[in-house]
Amino acid sequence: MRTQVAVIGAGPAGLLLSHLLHLQGIESVVLESRDRDYVEHRQRAGLLEQGTTDVLRESGAGERLDRVGLVHHGVELRFGGAGHRIPLTDLTGRTVTVYAQTEIVKDLVAKRLADGGDVRFGTEVLAVDPSAPSVTYRSGGETRTLDCDYIAGCDGFHGVCRPAVPGGRTFSREYPFAWLGILADVAPSTDELIYAQHDRGFALHSLRSPKVSRLYLQVPPDEDLAAWSDARIWDELATRFATDDGWKLHEGPITDRSITPMRSFVTEPMRHDRLFLAGDAGHIVPPTGAKGLNLAVSDVIVLARALAERYASGSEALLDGYSDAVLRRVWRAEHFSYWMTHLLHTDPAASDFERRMQRAHLDYVVSSEAASASLAENYVGLPVTWPSGD
């Protein structure tokens, strides 16, 4: 079998890339190890930069996003018993939108299948050959080979594509905390996200819909999820979100819970021969800055444009500049996520001096328009970085 672009992984990055290539008349096959039900229901990020929502709309995949996505114009930093709103739209002219990654995947799967796209679930990729580009995979008990012009590695941190880039250099950082995340069938207690810094640890109040709340607690990375009863979770959330004006947290049935470790990771380069990495295959950010999904989208926007130029004109100039271009934006997002994480989390090893420095920094961010604007500019998303010469 043969196609123009073999896409490994049916997460948002792989599906969106396949969709954008289709709009340019470029054939692709998407290979995904998990079944469709698993892919469409795994819980992931849910905050979209305006650039992400723009490309979904412009590509024709934004109908349900526009109908049920929740557009936000600000975000709250809460500490010392008080909330401080950062007016994102006033400071940047842009917005963010709450729309779960699960919903994006459902939309893109439906779009690709409706357009006659070749998306193969339950297909285990065994190996990729970046030089004589091909993918070896197992499906239905048979081992087969898919020949192609290019391979897009959108198969995440544990996939086969990143190890196929020889001589790569990796950069990583492990954080001394994790997030205990829950979904609850209860109306959100807030109209905009709340990032709370507390002596007992960080907490985040997000939302999924007018009837579903998404909340997080900072916990140790080796925390036992079984140690957290529903009552304990709600009590701890109420403590960390408490304000001097008596703000109340709505409680309800918890339908999902998990613990997510926090780390930063980047691999360089993100290309070898005919193999290109995108999304978590090339980089991971701590979730504090809500950059993971949005970085994956910006990667495939650049890659789709570079591939379209290659098939339209024969020029590989944009493909040659892909890795350097996306890594510039990746490192900017890594820094922002690192900064937000240290600004808001309670380091168990921090000295009293370091904690007072953290509070001083928070006071500055919410009292200085310039500091608030810097946070807002990064939070709503910086422009896509294109290959030089484009």
Q: Which of 99, 137, 175, 195 is catalytic?
A: 195
Length of the chain equals 390
Question: What gap in Å lies between CA 272 and CA 130, rounded to an integer?
Answer: 7
CA angle 359, 365, 371 (to 5 degrees): 150
Question: What gap in Å lies between CA 353 and CA 144, rounded to an integer?
Answer: 60
Give yes or no: 111 in active site.
Answer: no
Give yes or no: 19 in active site.
Answer: no
Residue 308, burial from CB neighbour count under 10 angstroms (0-12, 13-18, 19+): middle
Q: Burial letters for 48-77: b for 16+ Cβ neighbours within 10 Å, e otherwise?
A: bbbbbbbbbeebebbeebeeebbebbbbbb
DSSP 23-42: HTT--EEEE-SS-HHHHHH-
Q: Which of 175, 287, 322, 387 is catalytic?
A: 287
Q: Render pLDDT for 158-196 as a digit per residue (tens, 0 to 9).
A: 999 999 999 989 999 999 999 999 999 999 999 999 999
Q: Render pLDDT for 70-89 as a digit per residue (tens, 0 to 9).
A: 999 999 999 999 999 999 99
| pLDDT computed for residue 189 by the predictor | 97
The residues near 272 (Cβ < 8 Å, ≥ 6 apart) are 130, 164, 165, 166, 168
| pLDDT computed for residue 330 by the predictor | 98
3-state secondary structure string, 249-292? Answer: CCCCCEEEEEEEEEEEEEEECCEECCEEECHHHCEECCHHHCCH
CA angle 185, 296, 115 (to 5 degrees): 85
Give yes or no: 348 in active site.
Answer: no
Q: What stretches in the chain show pLDDT beneath 70?
A: 389-390
Q: Which of 19, 111, 198, 291 is catalytic?
A: 291
Q: Render pLDDT for 18-55 as a digit per residue (tens, 0 to 9).
A: 999 999 999 999 999 999 999 998 877 789 999 999 99
Domains assigned to the chain: 5-70+101-172+263-348 (3.50.50.60)
Neighbours of 36 (CB within 10 A): 16
| pLDDT computed for residue 41 by the predictor | 87
Neighbours of 43 (CB within 10 A): 15
The label of the residue with tokens 């900072």 reads 218
Residue type for position 385: T
| pLDDT computed for residue 388 by the predictor | 76
Is the separation of the CB atoms in 107 and 65 below 8 Å? yes
Give yes or no: 287 in active site.
Answer: yes
The residues near 110 (Cβ < 8 Å, ≥ 6 apart) are none
Give yes or no: 150 in active site.
Answer: no
The residues near 324 (Cβ < 8 Å, ≥ 6 apart) are 269, 387, 388
Residue 132, burial from CB neighbour count under 10 angstroms (0-12, 13-18, 19+): exposed
Neighbours of 165 (CB within 10 A): 23
The residues near 173 (Cβ < 8 Å, ≥ 6 apart) are 263, 264, 265, 338
DSSP 33-100: SS-HHHHHH-----EEEHHHHHHHHHTT--HHHHHH-EEES-EEEEETTEEEEE-HHHHHS--EEE--
Q: Which of 19, 72, 111, 205 is catalytic?
A: 72
Q: What backbone torsions phi and psi does residue 21 show, to the nearest 5 degrees?
A: -65, -40
